[in-house]
Amino acid sequence: MAQQETDEQTINDGFVVDTEDCEARELAYRERGTARPITVVGNPVLHRECKDVTEFDDELAKLIDDMFASQKAAEGVGLAANQIGVDLKVFVYDCPDDEGVRHTGVVINPVLQELPAEQRVLDESNEGCLSVPTAYAELARPDYAEVHGQDAQGNPIKVRGTGYFARCLQHETDHLYGFLYIDKLSKRDRKDALRQMAEGTPRYETVPND
């Protein structure tokens, strides 16, 4: 079962081509998967670095399927494994860039590549998170991102994105190292985001923090 899944990600110049057959690939993942509730800020699994994936097997393939199903149920564009309570470095995405081009894929054990200072152009835009439901805040991030990692068979891959998709890649990689976007905000803005969350009602099932 695991082997049939990641032939969908072809490689071009070392980078994954994640813009082809997006609708069919995303549908196949989530039709096999089961949506799970989303963990929210305060859950310990969100606030520590996740474990590296070392087994590229059917269990991992099932997790990926469930993550796509969960992402769709929550109407998200990216989802990290710890957002459904799983302590592993995996994220999935189904996200447009600023040109409206759809990107769909999976990254295992991601590492965000640091950009030289002279190549950083910051994009100040609103950001939200399924684990901080109903809250949004403006956050500056580089408008280009490159992530190195592995596919579901353990093969090395690279993913790159601009604009909104670049924000998604940075946001999801941060999750797997124990950081939420609100951790990058000023104290005042973080407090405001938590207030928005407290006053809002999630549109999807969440895991209560006991």
In DSSP notation, 81-117 reads: GGGGT--BSEEEEEEE-TT--EEEEEEEEEEEPPPPG
Instruction: Report the distance separating Cα 14 and Cα 76, nearest Å.
Output: 27
In DSSP notation, 127-151 reads: EE-TTSTT-EEEEEEESEEEEEEE-
Active site residue 172: yes
| CB half-sphere exposure, 153, CA atoms < 13 A | 11
Give CA 123 to chain center in angstroms: 18
Check 20, 172, 199, 205 and give the catalytic one: 172
Instruction: Report the distance separating Cα 70 and Cα 46, nearest Å.
Output: 16
What amino acid positions are annotated as catalytic residues?
172
